Amino acid sequence: MTVIDLRSDTVTQPTAGMRDAMASAVSGDDVYGEDPSVNLLEAELARRLGFAAALFVPTGTMSNLLALMAHCERGEEYIVGQQAHTYKYEGGGAAVLGSIQPQPLEVQADGSLDLNQVLDAIKPDDFHFARTRLLALENTMQGKVLPLEYLARARAFAREHDLALHLDGARLYNAAVKLGVDAREIARHFDSVSVCLSKGLGAPIGSVLCGSTALIAKARRLRKMVGGGMRQAGSLAAAGLYALDHQVQRLADDHANAQWLGDELRKAGYDVEPVQTNMVYVQIGDQAQALKAFADERAIKLSVAPRLRMVTHLDVSRAQMEQVLKAFVDFSRK
């Protein structure tokens, strides 16, 4: 039985075209700056998103960490969502490795941070306080797309209050495809953007941090420090380039599959949050463990949580969505 894995969009296998691109990639030592494929990926993504420079790193976690550490010095502070990946799911790296203090704020229902709350959280210039340096947003945020009008306001706000603005754009392209805009329309509001190639875009590994020449030079030094210099990384960069050229527009299929599953589950009586991109959130409550076991027997892999997240990606089809729906319906009739 083919396994249907809905735990994350990180679980995909490289497509045949991607494998070919990886196999034929030219490579060199990237720590010496001599890997043509890595250099091309960095130049290409910087160009596409409207930045002066970019840096290829193994993971989104490292990319965000380098951004936070490049923007903030020891004893400085970044304002971030309580539920944001950079705050909650990255092992406290900014605090542990960068001595950067997080100031978390509750994320609003639409995935944004309330700029009035951000304003209240900015510390006065007084030696009692850490210096507030950076505002970090996430887009998509748990599958939600931040409105362009909000991004423009956040840009103006950050400028007014002398804050840098970072985007964890692990799923930047999901947001762009959903809005029907070029990703640059989102990226242009930020001082730095981290993009994951290993999520919906389907590459096996890799993220790219984009920013100014000075910021990326600092991040490159920090990358070496945290052990992220990757030598002959060309085949990985080639996978990323292939994804950017061939696997962006198809994200709309993942969104359609998620939308379909969300709608059908709602019709079947489940409490489903509105679906915007490739994530379906269902309130399962204390049934989480039982549902997971039931799904396991049907070769459907789910995370276990009362608020269950299912993520669509290039390795799940509409026919498989129908199998998932059937499993949920059977479970509710048990």
Q: Which residues bind ligand PLP (CB under 6 A)?
A: 10, 59-61, 64, 85, 138, 168, 170, 196, 198, 207
Residue 179 or 268 with smaller CB distance to ligand PLP = 179
Q: Which residues are 258's β-sheet partners?
A: none
Residue 93 or 234 with smaller CB distance to ligand PLP = 93
Residue 80 or 327 with smaller CB distance to ligand PLP = 80
Residue 206 or 331 with smaller CB distance to ligand PLP = 206
Residue 116 is which amino acid?
N
Alpha helices in 3-81 (DSSP H): 16-23, 36-49, 60-71
Shortest distance, CB of residue 309 to ligand PLP, whole angstroms? 10
Residue nearest to ligand PLP (CB): 60
Residue 280 is which amino acid?
V
Shortest distance, CB of residue 173 to ligand PLP, whole angstroms? 13
Residue 64 or 312 with smaller CB distance to ligand PLP = 64
Spatial neighbors of 145 by CB under 8 A, at least 6 apart, are: 111, 139, 174, 175, 178, 179, 276, 277
Q: Which helix (H) or strand (E) holds 217?
A: helix 213-225
Shortest distance, CB of residue 303 to ligand PLP, whole angstroms? 12
Shortest distance, CB of residue 11 to ligand PLP, whole angstroms? 11
Shortest distance, CB of residue 273 to ligand PLP, whole angstroms? 17
- Report strand pairing: 279-283 vs 300-301: unpaired
Rounded-to-integer distance, Cα 316 and Cα 132, Å: 43
Residue 10 or 287 with smaller CB distance to ligand PLP = 10
Shortest distance, CB of residue 69 to ligand PLP, whole angstroms? 15
Rounded-to-integer distance, Cα 42 and Cα 216, Å: 11
Pick from 8, 59, 1: nearest CA to 302? 8
Residue 30 or 138 with smaller CB distance to ligand PLP = 138
Q: Tell me the three state secondary structure of residue 166.
A: strand
Q: Is the CB of residue 283 less than 8 Å from the CB of residue 291? A: no
Shortest distance, CB of residue 63 to ligand PLP, whole angstroms? 8
| CB atoms closer than 10 angstroms to residue 165 | 20
Rounded-to-integer distance, Cα 280 and Cα 25, Å: 36
